[in-house]
């Protein structure tokens, strides 16, 4: 897989990057609250090559609920979020590459969480999601592995599929779909890799 990625997105003088971020979904987490965003603020194309997402329940919930995280492509993404945000720090894969994060602007919800999610950005979501991950959150924290830990990589589609290639002021966002109750707690871990390439 690594050789295929390098064949499709050669190193050149730009870069390949990776970061991780951890987010807490908290009590009264709002429906549609944005948790993470990735914006192309530069002139080249940004191509996500991996986005491994894991979701683990960490606290009892008011009641059992089936929640999901929605992934949307976004356009007209002219301003990144500014409220309840942190900026995850990326690493470049090779010292000679352009310093991270290249042309990307990345914002994540504060690690402590925020019920309204991250806000303040200017962006337009596509009419439908391109990926979803579902989690059954329990009234009590499960103590036995009876429910599989949800995992997803929406960008791992194999080498025969044309990848997302985000131009300037395009990108994607991840948001919580269902309003959570007065008691809630789960942890979302995001492991994102991308390449910055010249438009062809």
pLDDT tens digit at each of 200 positions of the chain: 444 555 666 655 589 999 999 999 999 999 999 999 999 999 999 999 889 999 989 899 999 999 999 999 999 999 999 999 999 999 998 888 889 999 999 999 998 999 999 999 999 999 999 999 988 898 988 776 545 556 667 766 665 577 899 999 999 999 999 999 999 999 999 999 999 988 86
At residue 153, the pLDDT reads: 73
Q: What angle do CA 34, 35, 37 make, to 5 degrees?
A: 85
pLDDT digits (tens, 9 = 90+) for 3-37: 455 566 665 558 999 999 999 999 999 999 999 99
Nearest-10 Cα torsion for 122, 38, 34, 152:
150
* Number of domains observed in the structure of the chain: 1
Specify the pTM. 0.88
Sort 50 into a burial class: Cβ within 10 Å, 0-12 / 13-18 / 19+: middle
At residue 1, the pLDDT reads: 44
At residue 14, the pLDDT reads: 87
For residue 161, the enclosing domain spans 2-197
At residue 196, the pLDDT reads: 93
Q: Any idea what DSSP says for residue 185?
A: -
Compute CA 115 distance to the chain's CA centroid, rounded to the nearest angstrom.
17
At residue 8, the pLDDT reads: 62
At residue 162, the pLDDT reads: 79
Sort 146 into a burial class: Cβ within 10 Å, 0-12 / 13-18 / 19+: exposed
At residue 2, the pLDDT reads: 46
Give the C-alpha distances (Å, rounded to integers) separating 187 from 46, 97, 98, 113, 184: 27, 32, 32, 9, 10
């Amino acid at each position: 897989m690594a050789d295929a990625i390098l064949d499709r997105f050669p190193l050149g003088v730009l870069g390949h990057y990776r970061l991780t971020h951890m987010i807490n979904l908290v009590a009264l987490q709002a429906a549609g609250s944005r948790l993470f965003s990735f914006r192309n603020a530069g002139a080249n194309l940004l191509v996500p090559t991996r986005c491994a997402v894991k979701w683990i329940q960490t606290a009892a919930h008011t009641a059992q609920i089936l929640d999901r995280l929605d992934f949307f492509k976004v356009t007209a993404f002219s301003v990144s979020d500014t409220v309840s945000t942190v900026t995850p720090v990326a690493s470049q894969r090779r010292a000679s590459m352009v310093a991270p994060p290249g042309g990307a602007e990345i914002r994540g919800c504060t690690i402590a969480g925020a019920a309204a999610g991250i806000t303040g950005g200017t962006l337009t979501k596509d009419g439908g999601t391109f990926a979803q991950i579902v989690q059954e959150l329990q009234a009590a924290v499960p103590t036995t592995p009876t429910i599989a830990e949800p995992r997803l990589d929406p960008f791992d589609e194999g080498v025969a599929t044309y990848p997302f290639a985000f131009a300037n002021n395009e990108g994607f966002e991840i948001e919580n779909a269902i309003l959570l109750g007065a008691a809630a707690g789960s942890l979302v871990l995001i492991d994102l890799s991308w390449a910055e390439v010249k438009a062809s």
